[in-house]
Structure 1
């Protein structure tokens, strides 16, 4: 009596399609069969940047492969920003190299020439000081002239020391803190280039996987806001079958259980495996839970066909599911 009530209810809701009961308790032991439908988890392809749709490489119903170009947005600004960032990086690297090498050889040669001139002037000043000292001892010149000669000799010697140090400094690289600061500028310029390259790359979107294009949501020339889907596609691994089983049968099911899917017009049945069992029961009509109403409990089950067989199924298509 209980079994007949369940069959009458199940036929009324088109949940199980059984020839001899949901538990397969008939004499011929036919496998349980339930009605279900195909569902697709669509992938909506969009860009993180805004822009005018410049190129649409796919059409509705087209089969595409992974990494195939899908669409492109106008990217004049992003290309210019990338070029600017690359030039700034080149300038920062050149400045760092300049600081590391010190002055150029021709600049050092100039300082050396100035040093040679200073040495000659110092020698001349020393000779003049020697003559003035001799003249002063015999009373030939006043004390002030001798003091001027000594001051000129000291100045000439000081200039020689100054230029000697300048030659040594010219051979040195930049100070450590200058090198660190310029190295940081180079790293910042590299980060700016990476950002500009990323923004430019975002203007072109490729297919993340093999699949079928189900719809294109914009036309070439239209403005696309950031994040707005442009193409709707369905990879074969995102095709699944959803069906409901009574609580009397759910205990015998588990992920990995093989199924056979039959659809109208299909040349042959499609093999699939259970991938998900609902963790909660559902009542199809509103009822009060009791022992008599347990037969009205159903559990949602999902099964995925193989990637090769999935394209034979279409979202929304009714199917029959039979346990193996």
Structure 2
């Protein structure tokens, strides 16, 4: 907790340390005093827009994955649909390159091959007839040359028709297929980005949490990156303690603490997670014995296990070493 409220709470904690705690009566005095602090999750959308809906309310509890709010998504949905169509087109073009010509085109080439075969049969028969006539000296050599040329022509046309049929069954060249694959990959990546942008405009709760605050109302314009909902997960509630310099020997990271506060459940415990490297409230001078009595260290501790209902931030607490009789 920071700012004015944090300063007030720090002052109250120091005052409690100086005057003692009402819990100290009838038992060992507390090891330290402090307060509850929350680490909030402030959920925002990356793009500006009008707040369409806000299905959560202050003080409500939400489960992980529960919808929190929706920013106007008309433009983002249109962009997603456009990129989805572009991906479908890229995939269709890739499939077309891999399948060769269409059946109708293959049928045309097959018919041309049939015609070439018929022409070759005729020219082959005519060549044989002219060879026989020339041998009998009934026909001229010129007609034999014409028949031989026609035969060679028809043979070449048949070979061409067969080659065209073979090519029609082949896919596109390797370079074309590679380019088509890259186009599909780019279209897929663009669609993933569009889906992500669409999801970011309708965020869900990352964890189960308490809705601490809602900062906009439906119909209002929300700037890009501006938090709309503030969440407080139970596991992100910690204790901020102020341990006297004389008691620091008993406080190390991981040590257990017993916790008591107004309205808290009995048997509450915590574990030290962080100890400040520098003391507070006393200027950096040579300390006398009297000044050391006012020297405190900021210590953070995590309540274990996290209570079903998070402790209210700002709530004063007192702690004892784990197992100490109170």
SS of corresponding position for 1:226: coil
SS where residue 85 of structure 2 aligns? helix
Aligned counterpart for 2:286 among listed residues 280, 286, 289: 289
Aligned partners of 1:36 and 1:243 also within 8 Å: yes
Contact 2:31 2:243 in 1 (8 A): no
Q: List per-residue Cα deviations over 1:10-50 (Å, max 9, x = no partner).
A: 9984335547xxxx9xxx98243432111111110112233
- TM-score when normalising by structure 1: 0.82
**Counterpart contact for 1:18–1:33, Cα < 8 Å:** no
Residues 18 and 34 in structure 1, CA contact (< 8 A), matched pair in contact too: no
CA offset digits 1:237-270 (Å, max 9, x no partner): 1111112122111011112323233223446463
Alignment of 1:133-144 (within 5 A): 134=133
Q: Distance in 1 between matches of 2:169 and 2:61?
A: 66
Give 1:73 deviation, angstroms: 1.2
Distance between the aligned counterparts of 1:75 and 1:198, measured in 2? 12
Please name the residue that 2:38 is paired with.
40
Determine the structure 1 residue equivalent to 2:87.
Answer: 89
State the distance in 2 between where 1:302 and 1:196 align: 42
Q: 2:17 aligns with which of 11, 15, 18?
A: 15
Alignment of 1:191-210 (within 5 A): 191-210=189-208
Q: Is 1:38–1:242's contact at 8 Å kept on the other side of the alignment?
A: yes
- Picking from 171, 174, 183, the partner of 1:173 is 171
Deviates further, 268-277 or 57-66: 268-277
CA contact 2:259–2:317 (8 Å) conserved in 1: yes
Deviates more, 1:253-262 or 1:35-44: 253-262
Moved more, 79-88 or 161-170: 79-88
Aligned residues: 307
Structure 2 equivalent of residue 156 of structure 1: 154
TM-score of the pair, normalised by structure 2: 0.81
Q: Partner of 1:5 in structure 2?
A: none
Map Cα deviations across residues 220-244 of structure 1 (whole Å, 9 max, x no partner).
Answer: 1122222210001111111111121
Inter-CA distance 31–15: structure 2 relative to 1 (3 Å threshold): closer
Distance across 2 between alignment mates of 1:209 and 1:194: 24
1:247 aligned residue: 245
CA distance in 2, matches of 1:236, 1:291: 42
Q: Structure 1 residue 69: deviation in Å?
A: 0.9
1:151 Cα deviation from its structure 2 partner = 4.3
Distance 2:319 2:148 in 1: 115
The 3 A distance-change label for structure 1 pair 92 and 137 is farther
CA distance in 2, matches of 1:213, 1:278: 30
Gaps of 5+ in 2: 1-11
